[in-house]
Amino acid sequence: MDDMYRDYILDHYKNPRNFGELEGATHTYHDSNPLCGDEMTMQLRIGDGSVDDVHFTGKGCAISQASASILTEEIKGKTLDEVKAIDRDHVLANLGIPISPARIKCALLGLKALKGAAWGLTAWPGEEVKAK
Amino acid sequence: MAVTLKGPTVKSAPLDVARIRKDFPILAQTVRGKPLVYLDNAATSQKPRQVIDAMSQVFEEHNANIHRGVYEFSERTTALFEEARAKVARFINAPSEREIIFVRNATEALNLVAYAWGRDNIKRGDRIVTTVLEHHSDFVPWQQLATEVGAEIAVVDIDDDGRLRRDQLSSELRKGAKLLAITHTSNGLGTVNPVKEIAAEARAAGATVLVDVAQAVPHTPVDVQDLGADFVAFSGHKMLAPPGSGALWGRAEILEKMRPFLYGGDMISRVTVKLTEWNELPWKFEAGTSSYVDAIALGAAVDYLSDVGVAKIHAHELSLVAYLLPRLQEIPGVTVYGPKDLESRVGVVSFNIEGIHPHDVATIFDREGVCVRAGHHCNQPLMTRLGVPATTRASMYLYNTTDEMDALVGAIHTAKKVFGT
């Protein structure tokens, strides 16, 4: 019935994959979207240059949570360089639903947090204090 | 449904809404085959033909820069601009037109006070009292001023129904306050504060009283003399006028003593290479070419609202709230924030649906043709107080109908169905 809130989007929202704190994380980045109050933390465990495991925690809309969940499924086993190379078009294509300009930040919050973690940051520069 | 909510008795159909709707061209549209249901009036209102025509008429028949030309077109436009000022003054019962300063919006009006009055009157150690109900535009300027000069800022809380904690406000005022910055009507919850009573108490405590009436003037009669405030600020775009129009009202004796806010053309009486003398009120505060077409259209909007009657508009909004609230509250998973009755409120209803983020709610509503605001409503301290990141807000105005309340309720059911909640 719905072109945006498709079954797999709602499934990822209600049953997010790789959700929760990651034991032994080597890379952690926290981000938020003040417009809607979405919160997102991405955690990576990197061994030998590639992603051994990834977890995220957060709260927010179906689009931001589903997008992050889908992303975590995809990157396990990828090298850090491969993760750094993922771009917005790729994430939007993977989501597979029409995203209006007003919701683009929701769709890309997971990617933003993932990139921050992959590049070894802990939070957006200047906001480190607020991050966990 | 009989109206059983506490508050004023609401007569049915206080307005001829069908006739009013014909004045608003945009409302005739459909969205993806469904009628447009515009319920984001606290963000901005739609505009009637009369206001749109007033703007076109200036451009087509009169346009020239105001207060400058000595030719007829400039004189005509200047006359329309000053006539609009007189209309706005009458609308809020200002004692004098000299006290109406045209600005772009309430935000500019509030910043004007924060800079031109605040920087000279709020000193290190002084106290500013404000509330958790403030829009960011009536909060951030005071927070920044306090930080800059080393003043203290006290933020009065609300109770669980979204009503201001009067006891706390009184005790903060008793501790001494140089300024009380308070909203008349909450844009997030629709609560109307007892500002007249509060202003009297604040002035007795020695505070200057500034009232943000941006959500009040469009929806309830506001009389600045009766209110007992020193400053009030509002935007035109929330009251049928175009964005770019708005006004600050202040007591002449205070405005006279204030330094200008912006420097430039029109706000001077004489300039030499060494010094400048300021123009008289209100032009001392209107530097540069003002948004005079928007101001003239604000005059037309005030005419429109006066013809309909603001008290009737308020009664109409309350009738919509009386219709909507019980229907919202019977939907499982729906939480309504703010007052649950008709006492001292306007047609703003904030709510959340369990398990669905407000942004998803608004996206699904959009496909049903229902426009609402989802987010923090420039009210982050209030959202924090409510313990939610965001809410969905439906805000009504004179052209909304009970059919549209039904469409809103229907859209909630659609959202719940999509999310399986």
- B82-99 pLDDT, tens digit per residue, is 999 999 999 999 999 999
Instruction: Tell me the β-bridge partners of A113.
Output: none
Is A63's CB within 8 Å of B358's CB? no
Chain A neighbors of B389, CB-CB under 8 A: 36-38, 59-60
Question: Is residue A123 in some structural domain?
Answer: no
Q: Which pLDDT value is given to residue A102?
A: 87
Would you say B41 and B395 are in contact if contact means Cβ atoms under 8 Å apart? Answer: yes
Within 8 A of B364 by CB-CB distance, chain A residues are 5
> Between B34 and B14, where is the model more confident?
B34
Confidence check: pLDDT of B9 > 80 = no
Three-state secondary structure call for residue B256: helix
Q: Cβ(B299)–Cβ(B88) under 8 Å?
A: yes
pLDDT the model gives residue A127: 66
Chain segment B59-81, per-residue pLDDT in tens: 999 999 999 888 999 999 999 99
pLDDT of residue A36: 73
Disruptive mutation site among B359, B364, B376, B418 for chain A (greatest number of A CBs within 10 Å): B359
Torsion of CA B237, B238, B239, B245, to 10 degrees: -30
Confidence of residue A37 (pLDDT cuts 50, 70, 90): confident
As given in the structure block, the two tokens for residue A20 are 């929760």
Query: Pick from B193, B199, B200: which is nearest to B216 by CA?
Result: B193
Catalytic-labelled residue, pool B3, B378, B382, B412: B378
- Interface check for B232 against chain A (CB to CB < 8 A): the answer is no
Residue B26 has pLDDT above 50, yes or no: yes
Q: Distance (Å, rounded) from C-alpha B255 to C-alpha B116?
A: 9
Confidence of residue B361 (pLDDT cuts 50, 70, 90): very high
Mean pLDDT of B184-197: 97
Per-residue pLDDT for B385 more than 70?
yes
- The number of distinct structural domains making up chain A is 1
Instruction: Report the pLDDT value the prediction gives residue A123, as an integer from 0 to 100.
Output: 77
Q: Give the whole-angstrom CA distance, residue A12 versus residue A69.
A: 6
Residues B265-314: pLDDT tens digits? 989 999 999 999 999 999 999 999 999 999 999 999 999 999 999 999 99
For residues B204 and B212, what is the distance between their CA atoms, to the nearest angstrom?
Answer: 20
CA distance A8 to chain B (A): 12
Q: In the predicted model, what is the mean pLDDT of residues B213-242?
A: 98
Residue A51 lies in a domain: yes
DSSP 8-state symbol, B263: -
Residue A34 lies in a domain: yes
pLDDT for A126 beyond 80? no
Q: Say yes or no for a CB contact (<8 Å) between A61 and B389.
A: no
Task: Evaluate whether residue A48 is within a structural domain.
Answer: yes
For residue A131, the model assigns a pLDDT of 46
The two structure tokens encoding residue B9: 């008795």
Mean pLDDT of B120-148: 98
Paired with B356 in beta bridges are B353
CB–CB of B316/B17 below 8 Å? yes
For residue B357, list chain A residues with Cβ-Cβ distance below 8 A: 36, 38, 60-62
Q: How far is CA B181 from the centre of its chain?
A: 14
Closest Cα in chain B, distance from residue A36 (Å): 5
Residues of B with CB below 8 A from A5's CB? 360, 364, 418-419
Give how far Cα A120 sits from Cα of A110, B135, B173, Å. Answer: 15, 37, 49
Which H helix or E strand runs over A45? strand A38-47
Provide, rounded to the nearest whole percent, the portion of chain B with pLDDT above 90: 93
Chain CA centroid to CA B197, Å: 20
Rounded Cα–Cα distance for residues B132 and B124 (Å): 23
Query: How many Å apart are CA B14 and CA B138, to the nearest integer?
Result: 33
Q: Is residue A128 part of a domain?
A: no
Q: Which residue of B has its CA nearest to A36?
A: B375
Run of H or E residues at B276: strand B276-278
What domain range is A58 assigned to? 7-118
- Picking from A9, A42, A10, the residue whose alpha carbon sits closest to that of residue B355 is A10
Q: Do B376 and A2 touch (CB under 8 A)?
A: no
* Secondary structure class of B96 (helix, strand, coil): coil
pLDDT recorded at residue B401? 98
Question: Among B188, B194, B186, B237, which Cα is nearest to B213's?
Answer: B186
Name which of A61, A63, A100 to mutate to probe chain B: the one with the most chain B Cβ atoms within 10 A of its Cβ: A61
The CA distance from A30 to A108, in Å, is 14
Only one residue has tokens 């790729």, namely A90
CB contact under 8 A, A36 and B360: no
Q: Could you check whether the bond before residue B282 is cis, i.e. omega within 30 degrees of 0?
A: yes
Q: Which residue of B has its CA nearest to A60?
A: B357
Q: What is the DSSP string of A88-130?
A: HHHHHHHHTS---GGGHHHHHHHHHHHHHHHTT-SBSTT-TTT
Q: Across residues B202-214, what is the average pLDDT?
A: 98
pLDDT score, position B321: 97
Q: What is the pTM of this model?
A: 0.93
| pLDDT level of residue A34 (50, 70, 90 thresholds) | confident
Question: B366 is written with which tokens?
Answer: 């959009």
- Chain A residues in contact with B390 (beta carbon < 8 A): 36-37
Q: Which residue of B has its CA nearest to A9?
A: B419
**Whole-angstrom distance, CA of residue B44 vs CA of residue B131:** 23
| Confidence check: pLDDT of A128 > 70 | no
Buried b (16+ CB within 10 A) or exposed e, B219-236: bbbbebeebbbbbbbbbb
Average pLDDT, chain B: 95
Length of chain A: 132
What's the rounded Cα separation, in Å, for the pair B295 and B80?
9
Q: Residue B383: enclosing H or E segment and its boundaries? A: helix B380-386
Structure tokens at B370: 């229902």
| pLDDT of B68 | 82
Residue B27 touches partner A, C-beta closer than 8 Å: no
Q: Å from A31 to nearest chain B CA?
A: 15
- Assess whether pLDDT exceeds 70 at residue A1: no
CB contact under 8 A, B418 and A1: yes
In three-state secondary structure terms, B392 is strand
Is the per-residue pLDDT at B12 higher than 60? no
pLDDT (average), residues B328-340: 96
pLDDT beyond 50 at B2:
no
Instruction: Please tell me the distance from the alpha carbon of residue B261 to that of residue B102, in angstroms, as a whole number.
Output: 13
**Residues 6+ positions from B304 with CB-CB distance below 8 Å:** B23, B48, B50, B51, B240
Q: Does residue A131 belong to any structural domain of this protein? A: no
CB B359 to CB A63 under 8 A?
yes
Which pLDDT belongs to residue B13? 59
- In a domain, residue A49? The reply is yes
The closest alpha carbon to B109, from B248, B243, B258, B239, belongs to B248
> Residues of B numbered 312-371 whose beta carbons fall under 8 angstroms of chain A's beta carbons: which are they?
356-360, 363-364
Contacts of A63 in chain B (CB under 8 A): 359-360
The DSSP 8-state label assigned to residue B139 in this structure reads T
Residue B375 has its nearest CB partner, among A1, A10, A35, at A35
Collect all residues of chain A within an 8 Å Cβ-Cβ radius of residue B377: none
Domains and CATH numbers, chain B: 17-31+309-419 (3.90.1150.10), 51-307 (3.40.640.10)
Amino acid residing at B4:
T
In the prediction, which pLDDT does B1 show? 42
- With an 8 Å Cβ cutoff, is B411 touching chain A? no
B42 vs B187: CA distance, rounded Å:
6
For an interface test with B, the pick among A2, A5, A12, A103 (most B C-beta atoms closer than 10 Å) comes out as A5
> pLDDT at position A132, please?
43
- Specify the DSSP element, H or E, that contains B394: strand B391-395
Q: How far is CA A34 from CA A2, A38, A105, B249, B379, in A?
A: 27, 7, 11, 33, 12
Give the pLDDT confidence of A64-75 residue by residue, as tens digits. 999 999 999 999
User: How sure is the predictor about A15, in pLDDT bands with cuts at 50, 70 and 90?
Assistant: very high
- Residues of B in Cβ contact (< 8 Å) with A37: 376, 383, 388-390
The C-alpha R_g of chain B, in whole angstroms, comes to: 22
3-state secondary structure of B275: coil
CB atoms A36 and B359 under 8 Å = yes
Res. B5: pLDDT tops 80: no
Residue B191, token pair as written in the block = 């609560």
Going along B157-253, which residue ranges are E strands?
Answer: 179-183, 208-212, 231-235, 246-250
B139-158 pLDDT, tens digit each: 999 999 999 999 999 999 99
* Residue B371 designated active-site: no
pLDDT > 70: percent of chain B: 98
Which of A4, A38, A59 is closest, CB to CB, to B363? A4
The answer to whether the CB atoms of B359 and A103 lie below 8 A apart is yes
Domain of A111: which CATH number? 3.90.1010.10
B418 touches chain A (CB under 8 A): yes
Residue A23 in domain: yes
B376, B390, B418 member nearest A5 (Cβ):
B418
Instruction: Tell me: pLDDT of A90 over 60.
Output: yes
